Amino acid sequence: MTGAGKDIILSFCIPTYNRAVFIGEALRSIISQADERIEIVVVDGASTDNTAEVIRQYQQQFPNLVYFRGEKKRGVDRDMAKSIELARGEYCWMLSDDDVLCPGAVDRILKETGLGCEIFLCNATNCDLSLRPLKDRFWLSRRANDRIFDFCDRKDLILYCRLANSLGAIFSYMSSIILLRRAWNRAGFQDSFDGSAYALAASLFSFRSHKCRLKYIREPLLLCRGDNESFSGSAGLVKRFLLDFDGYLRLADIFLGNDKAARRVFLKVMTREHPWYTIIHVASLIDIQEAWLLFKKKLVACGYNPLMVSLCRFLSGNEKLVSLAVALKRKIVRNRAYLWFNRIITRVLFLKQT
């Protein structure tokens, strides 16, 4: 499908493992918008389902689809890096194997690439398992419009962190990220973060050693499939939180060092991602005191007020309050009255630490 003399501008890089049931929808959403400037690179971590068969079917429709199957499962971080290694495009869109592009997404990014930014970050629409849209997610404040941020400029980085609503703003959501392949090759894969779930974020922050301009795109360009979390159950939820805490603190240590002001606003993003009612819920899932003390230590290191953390632990022993916390978690993001209520409670509980 690639014509003579045509350069690949955008490569869709898709690490996958046992997602034959979903990856076809992801591929269709790309192919329906693609022309000769687009390629798809799928790296399969030795799936045991019929992923290879599904990919071969789509290769017949779209010859610009590269399929690499590993001999063994190496994890999403390594497979993600391999997909970039195999890509030919000027830019790589890091797409999850169960997410789907919105109509017009490819044209939008092809136009944006003319800016030459090292990173583009778009928003997403949360959906249920059947991809029925539920709500739009905005990684930055809803007041933030399209804008370029220079992460090599300390003031710009601090402003960006102050606007951030979610860890998605600091690269925790792969499908929202489009990166300049040349910048990635220059920075290299951050081996020390392999298996941490934050290897992609670490590599992107390492762009700051050269150039690191991020274009924030307010428009949601993705449909994000929900109810498909690999960290299911009580133990899985606690593990998910610990991954966030560990990865997030390491990013702050390595890339912000002794810059206390930048580190503080960076860590503050965690308290927005996981507010008080979420902490009550997770605290109710930890039965062992030693495990709770470790969890609390990481909460405080991420900027949570110690008194508030202790209060959440105390409240977590009340089943009705835990049920209320879970209900708030579901409703606050959809209802303005709940959003207002959350802001008031957060200001009371998350007292600024000196």
Q: Residue ranges of the domains in the chain?
A: 10-225, 233-349
Question: How far apart, in whole angstroms, are the C-alpha atoms of residue 136 and residue 133?
Answer: 8
Token readout for 27 is 């591929």
Instruction: Please spell the DSSP secondary structure of 37-60, one letter per residue.
Output: TEEEEEEE---SSSHHHHHHHHHH
- In degrees, to the nearest 5, what angle opens at C-alpha 318 toward C-alphas 312 and 324? 80
181, 84 contact by CB (below 8 A)? yes
CA dihedral (303, 306, 312, 316) in degrees, to 10, reads 110
DSSP state of 208: G
Q: Which CATH architecture group holds 10-225?
A: Alpha-Beta Complex (3.90)
pLDDT in tens, the chain (354 residues): 444 446 999 999 999 999 999 999 999 999 999 999 999 999 999 999 999 999 999 999 999 999 999 999 999 999 999 999 999 999 999 999 999 999 999 999 999 999 999 999 999 999 999 999 999 999 999 999 999 999 999 999 999 999 999 999 999 999 999 999 999 999 999 999 999 989 999 999 999 999 999 999 999 999 999 876 655 556 778 888 999 999 999 999 999 989 999 999 999 999 888 888 889 889 999 999 999 999 999 999 998 999 989 988 988 888 776 676 666 655 544 444 445 455 555 555 544 443
- What's the pTM? 0.88
